[in-house]
Amino acid sequence: MAISVTLEAFLNQHDVQYALIPHTHTSSSMETAEQAHVPGARLAKAVILKEEDRYLMVVVPSVEHVDLAALREQFGHGVDLATEDELVQLFPDCAPGAIPPAGAAWSMDTYLDECLLDEPEVFFEAGDHEELIRVDGGQFEQLQKDARRGHYGHTL
């Protein structure tokens, strides 16, 4: 599997200049950062949550966990992690665990941890476990223009 077809169309539609960075197959975002020689704070990861009858994406650096308790408090009701079966249905052109942090490409509400906007360049999964996308910080911010911004993670 290569770059997600949905992601590639989204990047092209928004005229984003990006580079594909190959790396050995990995199974976690921290392992990906290590294998690709990328600072964990610059590797954005997507976490998909189910909120009642809809899904949403939370984007945090790979060195952080999504703070579910804080999100539940913020929303005033329950949110839970989407199941692997749900992820396969929502992102059919992505490998499980390699979902790109571009919720808008899948018409999904996105919550972006603002600390990623301080980075000069951002890396993220291309939709498989063997390639990363690299974009400059300004282009990443443009891709996240509709995302709600805040602090949604806590350090591992």
Give the chain's mean pLDDT: 90
Over the stretch 123-153, which tens digit does the pLDDT of each residue have?
A: 999 999 889 999 999 999 999 999 999 988 8
pLDDT of residue 55: 94
Three-class SS of residue 23? coil
Buried b (16+ CB within 10 A) or exposed e, 20-40: ebebeebeebeebbebbebeb
Query: Under CATH, to which class is 5-155 assigned?
Result: alpha beta
Note the pLDDT of residue 156. 62
Here the tokens at position 10 are 């989204």
Ranges of each domain in the chain: 5-155
Q: Please tell me the predicted confidence (pLDDT) of residue 149.
A: 94
CB 82 within 8 A of CB 90: yes
Tally: H helices and E strands in the chain: 5, 10
pLDDT in tens, 83-98: 999 999 999 999 988 9
pTM of the model: 0.92
Asked whether residue 1 carries a pLDDT value surpassing 70, the answer given is no
